[in-house]
Amino acid sequence: MKTISSRHNPLFQRVRDAMRDPEDEFVLEGHKQVDDAMAAGWQPLLLVTRGETFTDELFDALADTRTPQDVLGLFARPKGQKIVANNGPVVVLDAVQDPGNVGTIIRLAAAFDCGGVILLPGCADPFAPKAIRASVGAVLRVPVVQGTLADLDGLPIFAADAAGQTIDPPTKDAMIVFGNEGSGVSDEIRRRAKLIAIPMSKRVESLNVAASAAILLARSYVLRGK
């Protein structure tokens, strides 16, 4: 195959579009991420290599990191993933907009054996390059689905909120909601959920959403006897 050098090439545009808007396909950067995905059973649709598939200049134009890797893997976005709440709580993100926070919380959900992650409207895309890097590949190992408030019916709902009670988080058969970086959980969630506050010094008013998730999900894990 001749090395591609034109930005107008359909293959280049396909990979570029998957990085910008991973609606049906997403991209992993670097040998480690690609190898880990394949070891987990994910089969790439396409492997793109520097200087072979694309010229160095074209490859660098695609890469999202400051120090571009030598390979990009194009994968199909997962469909129909199942969330299971009977082994650990389900994590719900309510308009968490920073992809780094979304990826970090997905990593925490995997680390503490949660049943999956539901993203309500307004959340950053978990398959955007920054979110994938922040999850350190955990997005490939824990079910992550897009959802709405209607998908929260049927299980008890708990939500991290400074106005809540300092009680233990649920261990399973429940949902734990973490809200927007600036405004917290929505009014609808507040009306439906039992609010959980994290006990802490009065030196600060609140914690970063990912820090809150780390504390509550770790506590839930410990209470399950893990």
16 located within any domain: yes
Q: Are 108 and 209 in contact (CB under 8 A)?
A: no
Predicted confidence (pLDDT) at residue 161 exceeds the cutoff of 80: yes
Could you give the CA distance from residue 217 to residue 117 in angstroms, rounded to a whole number? Answer: 12
Kindly state whether residues 72 and 149 are assigned to the same domain: no
Kindly state whether residues 105 and 59 are assigned to the same domain: no
Assign 66 a pLDDT band (cuts: 50, 70, 90).
Answer: low
- The reported pLDDT for the residue numbered 204 is 87
- The reported pLDDT for the residue numbered 40 is 86
Q: In 3D, which of 29, 97, 104 has the Cα closest to residue 69? A: 29
| pTM value > 0.85 | yes
Mean pLDDT of the chain: 92
- The reported pLDDT for the residue numbered 62 is 84
Assign 67 a pLDDT band (cuts: 50, 70, 90).
Answer: low
Give the CATH number for residue 28. Answer: 3.30.1330.30
Give the CATH number for residue 176. Answer: 3.40.1280.10
Could you give the CA distance from residue 91 to residue 105 in angstroms, rounded to a whole number? Answer: 9
Q: Classify strands 175-179 and 90-94 as parallel, antiparallel or unpaired.
A: parallel
pLDDT digits (tens, 9 = 90+) for 189-211: 999 999 999 999 989 888 999 99
169 located within any domain: yes
- The reported pLDDT for the residue numbered 174 is 96
pLDDT digits (tens, 9 = 90+) for 87-140: 899 999 999 999 999 999 999 999 999 999 999 999 999 999 999 999 998 999
φ/ψ of 31, rounded to 5, equals: -60, -40
